Amino acid sequence: MNEALEREPQLAATRLASAEVRVAVIGLGYVGLPLALTLGGARGVSVLGIDVDPAKQAALAEGRSYLRTVDGEAVARAVRERRLEASVELARVRECDAVIVCVPTPLSPQREPDLSFVEETARAIAPHLRRGQLVVLESTTYPGTTEEVLQPILEAGSGLAAGRDFHLAFSPERADPGSDVPTRTIPKVVGGATPRCLEAALALYGRAFDAVVPVSSTRVAELSKLLENVYRSVNIALVNELKVLCERMGLDVWEVIAAAATKPFGFMRFEPGPGLGGHCIPIDPFYLAWKARQYGLPTRFIELAGEINAAMPQHVVQRTMDALNERGLALKGARVLVLGIAYKRDVDDVRESPAVRIIELLQEKGALVVYHDPYVPRVPRMRQHRLDMVSVPLTDAALENCDVVVIATDHGCIDYARIVARAPLVVDTRNACHAVTVGRDRIVKS
């Protein structure tokens, strides 16, 4: 603990910009662990990663990565060089100069914001805060959360005032699991509760990120993240609706998109799929819609996009049922192999994966469902789903003995020509079989 920082909170920015500092990252998932490695890679910065899951602490203590999308050697090197340490004790935030919160912000069953993880974390760390510290929320949330929810809890539990005794800021995470883009190269948006809070947060992130983007308030920073994901949600909904139309018209939506994408201006390519997955796009638009209702403004465009995307798993099941029916088979009792259960290609993350809902719907209609995913050997426990399933080997016998293969996730390591050659019927939701030339009569796009 730095005594000068204790006496002079206004010196935080100077210290965070250049001195030896220790940063706590709370929540070591797909956002927190890459962030911890990025911060720990900055000169003079060491990271204390805190997570309530003791299995994560144990893995990091051994220098192992528990996420496929996080390089194991990078973890081992950071631990070996003492730039990263893991703990389950939230009280240890008192050892740190900055505290960054990266905990989940899911939706409730009523599709309203669930800030319980943020609130519980705030209550747990508040008694251990000290003067001069910087606290940053990175969890995606609605505008106003940092100052309306987080700040009162921290102040009540610590007896300190944000902007006077400690610094408070919001900086939205921009993780892209499975991408080769280094985290440090993704511009970091930062908003502070006060100008001095912003200065402190910019000083810290400026040590680890190539570009830091200051905005005028935490609310602007919070809304910027929602806008990013609402933008994607709305455009994906557009092409998903176009996909359904193209099926009715006998056109290939992928060919249509490819043709439109040749325009060098005024068009950005989005691709349809079986629905939306991951920790952001299926959830964030509903955070904004919920907040907008407090201002008496129904966000019909945003909510309609959410409805269209949420309906895609049902569309896939209907297409599968119709394809089987054309071959004289019923979906009830049919043997269905779902290929890929992760929410996107080449990751092991199943959060909000449309494949999970597809499996549930298939089972509800009496299908005998198995799945194969090279990155998800067993379906993990999820908040709203309970699939007690393990991945089956992708053998020739498994392909030949099923009635239909549903490609829900287009992992790059799969030989799709083999899938088409061996399976009697393939429902392709990702255009994974676009390059397959033999057996195309067995492929149904959805």
Segment 65-92 mean pLDDT:
95
Structure confidence at residue 17 as a pLDDT band (50, 70, 90): confident
Q: What is the SS3 assignment for 45? A: strand
Is the domain of 236 the same as that of 339?
yes
Task: Return the pLDDT at 269.
Answer: 96
Residues 362 and 264 in one domain: yes
Q: How many CB atoms lie within 10 A of CB 227?
A: 13
Domain range enclosing 154: 3-216
Question: Looking at the structure, do residues 96 and 37 belong to the same domain, yes or no?
Answer: yes
CB 354 within 8 A of CB 275: yes
Task: Confirm whether 227 is domain-assigned.
Answer: no
Q: Report the pLDDT value the prediction gives residue 11, as an integer from 0 to 100.
A: 60
| Pairwise CA distance, residues 241 & 396, whole Å | 35
Label residue 6 by pLDDT band (50, 70, 90): very low
Is residue 142 in a domain?
yes
The pLDDT-based confidence of 7 (bands split at 50, 70, 90) is: very low
> What pLDDT score does 9 carry?
54
Residue where a domain terminates, one of 154, 181, 216: 216
Q: What is the mean pLDDT of residues 343-352?
A: 93
223 assigned to some structural domain:
no
- Average pLDDT taken over every residue of the chain: 94
Residues 243 and 126 in one domain: no
pLDDT at residue 121 above 70?
yes
Q: Are 198 and 240 contained in the same domain?
A: no
Contact 189, 23 (CB under 8 A): no
Q: Answer yes or no: is pLDDT of 21 > 50.
A: yes
Q: Are 125 and 92 in contact (CB under 8 A)?
A: no
Asked whether residue 283 falls in the same domain as residue 431, the answer is yes
- Sequence-separated (6 or more) residues with CB below 8 Å from residue 320: 331, 336, 362, 404, 406, 427, 444, 446
* pTM (predicted TM-score): 0.91
Greatest C-alpha distance within the chain: 79
Note whether 163 and 191 are same-domain residues.
Answer: yes
Report the alpha-carbon distance of residue 40 to residue 443 in Å, rounded. 48
- Kindly state the average pLDDT of the residues 37-43: 96
Q: Are residues 247 and 117 in the same domain?
A: no
Element of type H or E holding 234: helix 218-249
Domain check: are 267 and 187 in the same one? no
What is the C-alpha separation between 42 and 207, in angstroms, rounded? 6
What is the per-residue pLDDT across 130-146, written as a single tens digit (0 to 9) for each?
Answer: 999 999 999 999 999 99
Give the count of domains, the chain: 2
What is d(CA 47, CA 26) in angstroms, rounded to the nearest whole number? 10
Q: Give all strands of the β-sheet with 404-407 in edge-to-edge order.
A: 368-372, 335-339, 404-407, 426-428, 443-445
Both structure tokens of 277: 């997955």
Percent of the chain predicted with pLDDT > 70: 98
277, 153: one domain: no
Average pLDDT over residues 266-280: 92
Residues 23 and 78 in one domain: yes
Whole-angstrom distance, CA of residue 362 vs CA of residue 378: 18
What does the alpha-carbon distance between residue 186 and residue 143 come to, in Å, rounded to a whole number? 22
Length of the chain as a residue count: 446
User: Per the domain annotation, does 419 fall within a domain?
Assistant: yes
pLDDT tens figures, 352-410:
999 999 999 999 999 999 999 999 999 988 877 778 899 999 999 999 999 999 999 99
Amino acid, single-letter form, for residue 313: P
On whether residue 221 sits in a domain, the answer given is no
- Tokens 């200065």 belong to residue: 199
Asked if residue 200 belongs to a domain, the reply is yes
Beta bridge partner(s), residue 31? none
Which tokens go with 228? 């990013």
pLDDT exceeds 60 at position 127? yes
- Kindly report the CATH number assigned to the domain that includes residue 115: 3.40.50.720
Q: Which amino acid is at 259?
A: A
The enclosing H or E element of 84 equals strand 84-87
pLDDT for position 153:
98
The domain boundary residue, chosen from 216, 244, 267: 216
Which of 216, 244, 271 is at the close of a domain?
Answer: 216
pLDDT at 385: 75
- Predicted confidence at residue 13, as pLDDT, reads 78
Please say whether the beta carbons of 362 and 314 come within 8 A.
no
**What span, in angstroms and rounded, lies between the C-alpha atoms of 59 and 351?**
21
Domain identity same for 268 and 375:
yes
Question: Does residue 224 lie within any of the structural domains?
Answer: no
Single-letter amino acid code for the residue at 208? A
Active site residues: 280
